[in-house]
Amino acid sequence: MLLAALPLQAKTVSEELIAYMEGLEGLRSNFEQNVYANGLIIESSTGSMALSKPKLRWQVDTPFPQIIIVSPGRVEIYDPDLSQLTIQEIGPDQTETPASLLMHPERLLTSSYQVNQVGSQDLRVFQLLPTGSSALFQSLEITFEKGTLKSLQILDWQQQQTEIRFQNIFVNQDLPPSLFQLAVPEGTDVIRG
């Protein structure tokens, strides 16, 4: 008996975004981050990031150095200027953040987000709108240019917009585990909370 070929089912917008985000494994890049309020830049910083799921390293170089390591169950924030390390335990039911969506894109298939997509074949902009009131942001836009992560734009509940532009992006890098471990100088104040 011959079976007729079935047409391929079109991907939903969420599934398309997940496919793009799953391609970010072993990612390293530089970034420039600007925070806007009422159309004016109120904060600007530069640094680098590394993503090796389920871990993320976010390092701000200027104007104030800071290293953030996100790993399963915890967030570590090291402020060298203050000689301070803050360690926060996080549970699986905690509020979603843009970082957690980068590390766990499959969560986009839940009913927690409405995902829209605009753009051309070369430039894809995905807009995430949380359906619940517990989200930390009103909207999140993730832009890919020719399949490469280009930017994130986050609108928070105070109407501040954060724009993160990525440069010098490399994916499928073999990132050493030590990149996601903090070694802080002796005498650093450790705050748990």
Return the percentage of the chain with pLDDT > 90, whole number.
54
What average pLDDT does the segment 50-79 reach? 93
Q: Where are any strands of DSSP class E within 14-97?
A: 27-37, 40-52, 55-62, 66-71, 74-79, 84-89
Q: Where are the domains of the chain?
A: 18-172
Average pLDDT, the chain: 86
User: Please, what's the largest Cα pairwise distance for the chain?
Assistant: 75
Q: What's the predicted TM-score (pTM) here?
A: 0.85
Q: What is the CATH architecture assignment of 18-172?
A: Clam (2.50)
Q: Count the neighbouring beta carbons within 10 Å of the beta carbon of residue 78.
A: 22
